[in-house]
């Protein structure tokens, strides 16, 4: 049984996707609503990838004709934001959904792009879940993410829990639901989808627990609380509390001895984490303000460094060739890097032609500092004596 709804990707004031923010900083939603929302190129690319993924699911689950599928896919491929690698990434999403569907003894219920009502828990709220699968007492909620900047884990993820609550509300009268399984397919970041499970009872009790917080957020009440959730907040560049927290990061470290201890350095690194991104964001806003004639005391907009370009590239190069300049001088032929080729050829062709033929070798990346909870194992350039000399001998036994 399959239900496909092409839900509009509208957003409620308290959206599921913003829940990690308004659950921790309750007045943020009302504040954000006063600020302009500009969709980044990455977000537009994500929407296109979602549309391709949805089209593939329609073909798979709702019998979309090949002709209609090809015509629509062609239209998507003509979009300037289209990248060949989207094929691989949306296929990974499709494969994962199929792998879940095949786990059921009989075909489960599948709903694609389903708008779910969240008002039992969050005032005036709704969301659009990418994929809901129900059968054998299990509810699966699966989300596709196209971004690569911020890895999103399914574990304890409030957006996913809200979608699951909405799906539970919509379908639990029709299908018994005992366990809930949420998954995020983010192929640009994770090789495998990030998965997390909880019981339906725990999900419902979480839903109850957030009701007063959601009401406070809806009313614009509570304290501003900065944290890692500020990353996607529309107010992040000019939010006073966040700015104060960031500025404190540089001034409040206890620096009595002339040099910081590693404990102090660790604390400063943690507190100053968002400072570069925030500074650039604030500069961008101040530039926009000065360009439209506003006053930002002590600052002005100036012309950046100019650049030279050909009035007519073809005509210029034809002229140079007539003047005897060799082609080798005019063009700089550079081989594409393996990731660029993978993008251009798709994963499958890249794997067949390059990865499996041994033409590509993988070198370790340069070491980088990461927070303790980063999923990658920690490394050191210290040599382990056991790797060189073998296991240490047992200490000699003494007879006392």
Among 21-29, 73-81, 112-120, 312-320, which window interacts with ligand SF4 (CB under 6 A)?
21-29
| Rounded least distance, CB 229 to ligand SF4, Å | 6
Give the shortest CB-227-to-ligand SF4 separation in angstroms: 7
Nearest to ligand SF4 of 165, 239 (CB atom): 239
CB of 23 to ligand SF4, least distance (A): 10
Q: Does 145 bind ligand SF4 (CB under 6 A)?
A: no
Site for ligand SF4 in 239-278 (CB under 6 A): 239, 241-242
Closest CB 28 distance from ligand SF4, rounded Å: 4
Binding span for ligand SF4 by CB under 6 A among 72-80, 230-238, 265-273, 383-391: 230-238
Q: Tell me: does residue 233 bind ligand SF4 (CB under 6 A).
A: yes
Q: Which is nearer to ligand SF4, 99 or 221 (CB)?
A: 221
The distance from CA 103 to its chain's CA centroid, rounded to whole angstroms, is 27
Q: Does 35 bind ligand SF4 (CB under 6 A)?
A: no
CA triple 61-62-67, angle to 5 deg: 110
Closer to ligand SF4 by CB, 166 or 226: give it. 226
Q: Are 134 and 179 in contact (CB under 8 A)?
A: no
Q: Which is nearer to ligand SF4, 46 or 231 (CB)?
A: 231
21 touching ligand SF4, by CB under 6 A: yes
Q: Tell me how far, at minimum, the Cβ of 336 lies from ligand SF4, in Å.
A: 39
Provide, rounded to whole angstroms, the least separation between the CB of residue 283 and ligand SF4: 17
Q: Is 158 in the site for ligand SF4 (CB under 6 A)?
A: no
Smallest gap from residue 163 Cβ to ligand SF4 (A): 21
Among 200, 236, 278, 342, binds ligand SF4 (CB under 6 A): 236
**Longest C-alpha distance within the chain, in Å?**
98
Contact between 226 and ligand SF4 by CB under 6 A: the answer reads yes
Q: Which of 235, 249, 274, 347 binds ligand SF4 (CB under 6 A)?
A: 235
138 lines the binding site for ligand SF4 (CB under 6 A): no
**Pick 118 or 235: Cβ nearer ligand SF4:** 235
Taking CB under 6 A as the binding criterion, the range among 73-81, 134-142, 183-191, 238-246 that sits at the site for ligand SF4 is: 238-246
241 versus 354: smaller Cβ distance to ligand SF4:
241
Three-class SS string for the chain?
CEEECCCCCCCCCCCCCCHHHHCCCCCHHHHHHCCCCCCCHHHHHHHHHHHHHHHHHHHHHCCCCHHHHHHHHHHHHCCCCCCCHHHHHHHHHHHHHHHHHCCCCCCCEEEEEEEEECCCCCCCCEEEEEEEEEECCEEEEEEECCCCCCCCCCCCCHHHHHHHHHHHHHHCCCCCCCEEEEEEECCCCCCCCEEEEEEHHHHHHHHHHHHHHHHHHHHCCCCCCCCHHHHHCCCCCCCHHHHHHHHHHHHCCCCCCCCCCHHHHHHHHHHCCCHHHHHHHHHHHHHHHHHCCCCCCCCCCCCCCCCCCCCCHHHHHHHHHHCCCCHHHHCCCCCCCHHHHHHHHCHHHHHHHHHCCCCCCCCCCCCCCCCCCCCCCCCCCCCCHHHHHCCCCCCCCCCC
**CB within 8 Å of 250: residues ≥ 6 apart:** 268, 272, 275
**Interaction pattern, residues 196-225, with ligand SF4; x per rule: CB under 6 A:** ----------------------------xx
User: Interface with ligand SF4 by CB under 6 A: which residues?
Assistant: 21, 25, 28, 31, 224-226, 229-230, 233, 235-236, 239, 241-242
């Amino acid at each position: 049984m399959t239900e496909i709804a092409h839900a509009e990707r509208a957003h409620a004031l308290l959206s599921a996707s913003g829940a990690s923010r308004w659950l921790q900083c309750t007045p943020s939603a009302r504040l954000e609503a006063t600020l302009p929302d500009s969709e980044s190129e990455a977000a537009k690319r994500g929407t296109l990838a979602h549309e391709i993924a949805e089209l593939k699911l329609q073909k798979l689950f709702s019998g979309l004709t090949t002709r209609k599928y090809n015509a629509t896919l062609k239209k998507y491929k003509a979009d300037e934001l289209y990248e060949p690698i989207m094929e691989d990434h949306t296929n990974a999403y499709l494969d994962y959904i199929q792998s879940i569907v095949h786990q059921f003894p009989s075909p489960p219920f599948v709903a694609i792009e389903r708008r779910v009502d969240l008002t039992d828990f969050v005032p005036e709220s709704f969301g659009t879940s990418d994929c809901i699968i129900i059968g054998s007492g299990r509810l699966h909620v699966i989300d596709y993410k196209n971004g690569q900047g911020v890895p999103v884990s399914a574990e304890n993820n409030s957006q996913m829990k809200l979608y699951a609550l909405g799906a539970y509300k919509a379908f639990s009268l029709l299908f018994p639901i005992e366990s809930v399984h949420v998954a995020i397919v983010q192929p640009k970041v994770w090789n495998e989808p990030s998965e997390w499970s909880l019981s339906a009872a725990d999900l419902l009790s979480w839903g109850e627990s957030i009701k007063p917080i959601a009401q406070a957020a809806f009313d614009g009440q509570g304290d501003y609380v900065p944290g890692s959730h500020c990353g996607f907040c529309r107010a992040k560049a000019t939010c006073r509390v966040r700015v104060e927290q960031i500025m404190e990061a540089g001034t409040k470290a206890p620096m009595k001895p002339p040099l910081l201890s590693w404990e102090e350095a660790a604390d400063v690194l943690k507190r100053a984490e968002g400072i570069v991104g925030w500074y650039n964001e604030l500069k961008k806003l101040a530039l926009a303000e000065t360009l439209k004639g506003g006053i930002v005391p002590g600052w002005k907009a100036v012309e950046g460094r100019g650049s030279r370009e050909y009035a007519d590239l073809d005509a210029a190069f034809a002229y140079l060739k007539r003047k005897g300049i060799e082609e080798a001088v005019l063009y700089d032929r550079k081989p594409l890097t393996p990731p660029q080729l993978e993008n251009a050829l798709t994963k499958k062709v890249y794997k067949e032609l390059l990865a499996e033929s041994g033409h590509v070798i993988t070198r370790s990346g340069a070491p980088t500092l990461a927070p303790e909870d980063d999923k990658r194992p920690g490394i050191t350039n210290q040599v382990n004596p056991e790797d060189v000399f073998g296991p240490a001998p047992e200490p000699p036994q003494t007879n006392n």
